[in-house]
Structure 1
Amino acid sequence: MRPHYKFWPARMPHAIAPPATSLWHNLAVSALRYPDKAAIVFFGRVLTYAQLKDAAERLAARLKALGVAKGDRVVVDMQNTPQLVIAHFAIFRAEAVVVPVNPMNRAEELKHYITDPGARVAITTADLAGELAAASNALPAGQGLEHLVVTRYADAFDAEVAGPDAPPEAWRGWLLAEHPLPTLTGGQVHTWQSALAEAPLQGELNADPQDLCVLPYTSGTTGLPKGCMHTHASIMHNAVACGLWGSATSETVALVVVPMFHITGMVAVLHAGIFCGATMVVMPRWDRELAGRLISRWKVTSFTNIPTMIIDLLASPNFASFDLSSLKAISGGGAAMPQAVAQRLLEAYGLRYAEGYGLTETAAPSHQNPIDHSKQQCLGIPFFSTDSRIVDPDTLAELPQGEQGEIVISGPQVFQGYWKRPDATADAFFELDGKRFFRSGDLGRMDEDGYFFITDRLKRMINASGHKVWPAEVESLMFRHPAIQEACVIGTKDDYRGESVKAVVVLRPSHRDLVTEQDIIDWCRENMAVYKAPRVVQFVEALPKSGTGKVMWRQLQEAEKAPRAAPID
């Protein structure tokens, strides 16, 4: 039963057969087709497809010279830069495996990303090199890095750039800072320029579609992050599928601001863009003013984002001066887009915000909203070649339409399993109707049209006197209040009810002196079931966010549960 096929985009197949080649071939083909076309724009500097391929082949030659062999894992630790793209494809050309790392990680965290995959080579930027070196130097002999390739942001753009392409003034310090190269105990540090001085790598590429190509790490509720084993085939499927779903072509101009170390930016933007021969306008991190200028300047047609970016962009005092007329596709995920914000985009700019859903384990999208038949605050319908069900989390039996259960996924984009964790892999998969399904750990339901809606993380539920409160639902309702810019709902201890609902709220600047915490509580009680309404509201300047911009609700929840210090008499 697939009722969602009634809403499937016209002229698109239900399943696709992606190229049976490695990801490297996507760049090689685009460079052959569009050698002089802009592949990447970074603060005004253009890198053509021919130049991108040449740089990747030169870096691949250096990696080979450093001893990188087929299947070896290479750490890539940097913000969005042209060098990140070059590094990915150099590693693929060397038939090795990319280990993408969140650049916000510090030395103690980075140890795990060196030892768990057994990485001996890492590529990073100068501002992060000290942390990686410190992590490696603190490891026992023989477990650390042997080589560290270091680039500077200024290797990829002109420091004197002015006008709409110029970085924010506040960024110039970290973009242009001269960091001394760190010392790597028992190893060598190499500059970007020296690495790219190699002659381009020659010879045949022997990578198979089933070879491991990317090992991104994902955090669970407990324990250290686990590596997700993705092959060229699983990444290729979603790279091709994302381009097809978004009607991307070689004429597409994409604003690349979602982090490319994260699975969404890596697959749905970077690899989809390279496959299509698109132009990618790259931002190293989010800034609403720069984003508005770049969309206007480069006539951006596609903008993949997270809802908080749209909320922030719309709040810019300079928003009226930005030209969004070139935008044709605007999509994202990671959190529900507030209905009021999506409606404003549609009514004022004719843009339908198409939400999607996916995990690191599913190479980004497993579900996507059709642009012409999207539903707000909805995960969408199962993606190309994908089967998704709702099952009972305890029995794993499939549940009827409309009932809440765990979202499970089967498809060619699903990972092979967790690196060196057969126990976790076994727990993550089960068989249903002869298919291997991945357990997402997310609770949701499917409506009568076959669209999926998330309720919350399996572990994220507030039990208030027996009433189950799902924070995502409460947050969605709270976004309707005109004073609320952002909200995160967590549980708080209640001696009578066991748990009560607490909302941590960021107010819009225009309303900060106009409403009180009690006003918000009163409004909530008037606009939602009383058991859902927050009994506690706390105003804050900002919510904690991950490197991908997601609100870190678990951090707020853990802080709330932490024992309070006893008052001093």
Structure 2
Amino acid sequence: MRPHFKFWPSRLPHAITVPATSLWHNLAISALRYPDKPATVFFGAVLTWAQLKAAAERLAARLQALGVAKGDRVLLNLQNTPQLIVAHFAILRADAVVVPINPMNRAEELKHYITDPDARVAITSAELAGELAAASNALPAGQRLAHLIVTQYTDAFDAAVPGEDAPPEAWRDWLLPRRPLPVLDGGQVQAWADALAFDGPLAPTTVGSQDLSVLPYTSGTTGLPKGCMHTHASIMHNAVACTLWGNGSSETVGLVVVPMFHITGMVAVMHAAVYAGATMVLMPRWDRELAGRLISRWKVTAWANIPTMVIDLLASPNFASFDLSSLKAISGGGAAMPQAVAQRLFEVYGLRYAEGYGLTETAAPSHQNPLEHPKQQCLGIPFMSTDARVVDPDTLKEVPQGETGEIVIHGPEVFQGYWKRPDATEAAFFELEGKRFFRSGDLGRVDEDGYFFITDRLKRMINASGFKVWPAEVEALMFKHPAIQEACVIGTRDAYRGESVKAVVVLRATHQGQVSEQDIIDWCREHMAAYKVPRAVQFADALPKSGSGKVMWRLLQEKETG
């Protein structure tokens, strides 16, 4: 018996039977059970479960009319909005595969998300549509998008919303304007309202639990991001398990501020809420004053977050005016929660902050702290139906308790492999005791109670406020700058974000003295997602290299962090 079972919530089984239905059925069933109950709340505008299902079906019919067939990949590039949920489930209802995209990506990055999954249709917002169209227009004719469906934020709420539900003043410039639709070379652009007005036929759904459902992309130690193939079953497992673990029910009211394009927001928050018929109070971005007002007004019971959000909310000058007494479950990950903040949550609200751990490859949690027995700055214990071990990264043999090794995971939530990358898939898995284990690339240890702790990273990665930044990807983008001969990206300590991005750059001889560090940073802002942009650039005459000519990034990293 594994030692963590003695801390296992007594109300829960160690493993669950995954529903054999597709993810679409979770929405269909919630709409049957709770037709008039709020599914989403967005700046005061309520969408019921019946309305959400009807909108998703109309959009699914439109997608089929545009030629989307079973197994086709459809891009979804949206902030947290009701439209994201409608579109996500419309793609599933059309028997297609959702390719979620981080809205911070710029045109140069977006090209890969169009070409790698062979996507022909994308759904986005008017604020982001220009970048997506620019990416498509820059591609050869045979690889471009054929259709772009574009929503305005105000398609989902009344711009004149008053009081506690009103958007922050600073958001009005990006939320309220109705922006013109972009031009898509060789393709068609359609407004969201027109797509939802479609009244054509909807073919029956034929997907099963083993069909692909989502293809989220994850970066790694080399080059371009890779698509993680998740079936309906792998996402379904964690949607059900997260609901059970967090005491979720149809009466749960969740504050949805972690992004739903990201695996945690998508699975542990959105899919879990849809499965349970819970209510989702949506925030498209973080704002501590709005969060405090929404928790108070809508009696939010569950809040998944990253620790910096909690720290920020507790620091609000208006904190005393917020009523957080409705909160029953607060959880998160992506960065460690400072012990003093966790202590304050417990002393003032009786809330135990439960950290978790997971990857895009494991459909969010592979580990979670029990709400009843959490340990601080700890990944938790292996999740429901999950076997996790710590192995020697060289021999792949299990190491004794307390020793450091690579965290490896086996369970129904683990992905099938990397899209079009059999080499990477083969390298990511190995067999132990007759089971197929996924190699996380994270180094950790297990304590005497069976709780897992992270100690280091086997893979080269920077964690900035919970966003994973892969240096190889940033370097590949930086090499497109005409002045850059070489670049090495490392992590630097940051009191607020945990880590920030720094680039050590060698300039071409032709550009010496003509380009400043700030010029490089400004160029990066234009060409990559904001969280990847180096906060600091340092010029060097040369980068340290090994005998084989490889850049010795560890030397630069050690010099930086001392």
TM-score, length of structure 2 as denominator length:
0.84
2:125 is matched with which residue?
A: 125
1:159 is matched with which residue?
A: 159
Deviation by residue 1:207-262 (Cα, 9 ceiling, x = unmatched): 11000010000011221000000000000000000000001000000000000000
* Rounded Cα–Cα distance in structure 2 between residues aligned with 1:551 and 1:319: 28
Deviation by residue 1:136-191 (Cα, 9 ceiling, x = unmatched): 00000110000000000000000000100000001010001221111100000001
- Which amino acid letter does the alignment assign opposite residue 91 of structure 2? I
- Work out whether 1:112 is the aligned partner of 2:112: yes
Helix, strand or coil for the counterpart of 1:90? helix
* Rounded Cα–Cα distance in structure 2 between residues aligned with 1:163 and 1:342: 31
- Work out whether 1:60 is the aligned partner of 2:37: no
* Rounded Cα–Cα distance in structure 1 between residues aligned with 2:531 and 2:189: 36
Q: Which moved more, 1:230-239 or 1:196-205?
A: 196-205
* Rounded Cα–Cα distance in structure 2 between residues aligned with 1:297 and 1:442: 40
* Rounded Cα–Cα distance in structure 1 between residues aligned with 2:541 and 2:332: 38
CA-CA distance at 1:421 after TM superposition: 0.4
1:187 is matched with which residue?
A: 187
* Rounded Cα–Cα distance in structure 2 between residues aligned with 1:503 and 1:365: 26
CA-CA distance at 1:562 after TM superposition: 5.3
Q: Is the CA contact (8 Å cut-off) linking 2:104 and 2:530 kept in structure 1?
A: no
Helix, strand or coil for the counterpart of 2:142? coil
- Work out whether 1:504 is the aligned partner of 2:481: no
Q: Is the CA contact (8 Å cut-off) linking 2:96 and 2:213 kept in structure 1?
A: yes
1:148 is matched with which residue?
A: 148
1:238 is matched with which residue?
A: 238
1:291 is matched with which residue?
A: 291
1:219–1:142: structure 2 CA closer, same or farther, 3 Å change rule?
same
Question: Any unmatched runs of 5+ in structure 2?
Answer: 472-489, 498-523, 543-562
Helix, strand or coil for the counterpart of 1:396? coil
2:214 is matched with which residue?
A: 214
* Rounded Cα–Cα distance in structure 1 between residues aligned with 2:237 and 2:376: 26
Q: Is the CA contact (8 Å cut-off) linking 2:64 and 2:202 kept in structure 1?
A: no
* Rounded Cα–Cα distance in structure 1 between residues aligned with 2:112 and 2:404: 36
CA-CA distance at 1:505 after TM superposition: 3.2
* Rounded Cα–Cα distance in structure 1 between residues aligned with 2:225 and 2:493: 28
1:23 is matched with which residue?
A: 23
CA-CA distance at 1:134 after TM superposition: 0.5
Helix, strand or coil for the counterpart of 2:110? helix
Deviation by residue 1:534-553 (Cα, 9 ceiling, x = unmatched): xxxxxxxxxx99xxx9986x
1:276–1:506: structure 2 CA closer, same or farther, 3 Å change rule?
closer
2:450 is matched with which residue?
A: 450
Helix, strand or coil for the counterpart of 2:396? coil
Q: Is the CA contact (8 Å cut-off) linking 1:57 and 1:200 kept in structure 2?
A: no
* Rounded Cα–Cα distance in structure 2 between residues aligned with 1:506 and 1:50: 42
2:49 is matched with which residue?
A: 49
* Rounded Cα–Cα distance in structure 2 between residues aligned with 1:208 and 1:63: 19
- Which amino acid letter does the alignment assign opposite residue 494 of structure 2? V
* Rounded Cα–Cα distance in structure 1 between residues aligned with 2:219 and 2:95: 27
2:8 is matched with which residue?
A: 8
Structure 1 residues 489-500: aligned runs within 5 Å:
none
Q: Which moved more, 1:371-380 or 1:450-459?
A: 450-459
2:314 is matched with which residue?
A: 314
* Rounded Cα–Cα distance in structure 2 between residues aligned with 1:114 and 1:80: 21
Q: Percent identity?
A: 77
- 1:563 pairs with one of 530, 540, 545: 540
Helix, strand or coil for the counterpart of 1:371? coil
Q: Is the CA contact (8 Å cut-off) linking 1:212 and 1:231 kept in structure 2?
A: yes
- Work out whether 1:354 is the aligned partner of 2:354: yes
- Work out whether 1:326 is the aligned partner of 2:316: no
Deviation by residue 1:337-356 (Cα, 9 ceiling, x = unmatched): 11111111111211100000
Helix, strand or coil for the counterpart of 1:402? coil
CA-CA distance at 1:458 after TM superposition: 1.4
- Which amino acid letter does the alignment assign opposite residue 144 of structure 1? R
Q: Is the CA contact (8 Å cut-off) linking 2:217 and 2:226 kept in structure 1?
A: yes
* Rounded Cα–Cα distance in structure 2 between residues aligned with 1:156 and 1:133: 23
1:501–1:183: structure 2 CA closer, same or farther, 3 Å change rule?
closer
* Rounded Cα–Cα distance in structure 1 between residues aligned with 2:136 and 2:147: 10
1:433–1:352: structure 2 CA closer, same or farther, 3 Å change rule?
same
1:87 is matched with which residue?
A: 87
- Which amino acid letter does the alignment assign opposite residue 33 of structure 1? R
2:388 is matched with which residue?
A: 388
* Rounded Cα–Cα distance in structure 1 between residues aligned with 2:540 and 2:152: 44
CA-CA distance at 1:11 after TM superposition: 2.0
- Which amino acid letter does the alignment assign opposite residue 43 of structure 2? F
Q: Number of matched residues?
A: 491
CA-CA distance at 1:561 after TM superposition: 6.8
CA-CA distance at 1:204 after TM superposition: 2.4
* Rounded Cα–Cα distance in structure 2 between residues aligned with 1:145 and 1:453: 44
- Which amino acid letter does the alignment assign opposite residue 380 of structure 1? G
Q: Which moved more, 1:178-187 or 1:74-83?
A: 178-187
Q: Which moved more, 1:196-205 or 1:87-96?
A: 196-205
Q: Is the CA contact (8 Å cut-off) linking 2:80 and 2:285 kept in structure 1?
A: yes
* Rounded Cα–Cα distance in structure 2 between residues aligned with 1:198 and 1:124: 18
- Which amino acid letter does the alignment assign opposite residue 400 of structure 2? P
* Rounded Cα–Cα distance in structure 1 between residues aligned with 2:203 and 2:134: 36
CA-CA distance at 1:411 after TM superposition: 0.3
Q: Is the CA contact (8 Å cut-off) linking 2:264 and 2:364 kept in structure 1?
A: yes
CA-CA distance at 1:445 after TM superposition: 0.3
1:501–1:39: structure 2 CA closer, same or farther, 3 Å change rule?
closer
- Which amino acid letter does the alignment assign opposite residue 413 of structure 1? E
2:77 is matched with which residue?
A: 77
* Rounded Cα–Cα distance in structure 1 between residues aligned with 2:271 and 2:494: 36
Q: Is the CA contact (8 Å cut-off) linking 1:292 and 1:313 kept in structure 2?
A: yes
Q: Is the CA contact (8 Å cut-off) linking 2:308 and 2:496 kept in structure 1?
A: no
* Rounded Cα–Cα distance in structure 1 between residues aligned with 2:291 and 2:491: 36
* Rounded Cα–Cα distance in structure 1 between residues aligned with 2:531 and 2:313: 17
* Rounded Cα–Cα distance in structure 1 between residues aligned with 2:348 and 2:280: 26
Q: Is the CA contact (8 Å cut-off) linking 1:335 and 1:550 kept in structure 2?
A: no
* Rounded Cα–Cα distance in structure 1 between residues aligned with 2:538 and 2:403: 31
* Rounded Cα–Cα distance in structure 2 between residues aligned with 1:51 and 1:12: 33
Q: Is the CA contact (8 Å cut-off) linking 2:302 and 2:327 kept in structure 1?
A: yes
Question: Any unmatched runs of 5+ in structure 1?
Answer: 462-470, 476-487, 491-499, 508-543
Helix, strand or coil for the counterpart of 1:189? strand
Helix, strand or coil for the counterpart of 1:372? coil
1:153–1:419: structure 2 CA closer, same or farther, 3 Å change rule?
same
* Rounded Cα–Cα distance in structure 1 between residues aligned with 2:206 and 2:492: 55
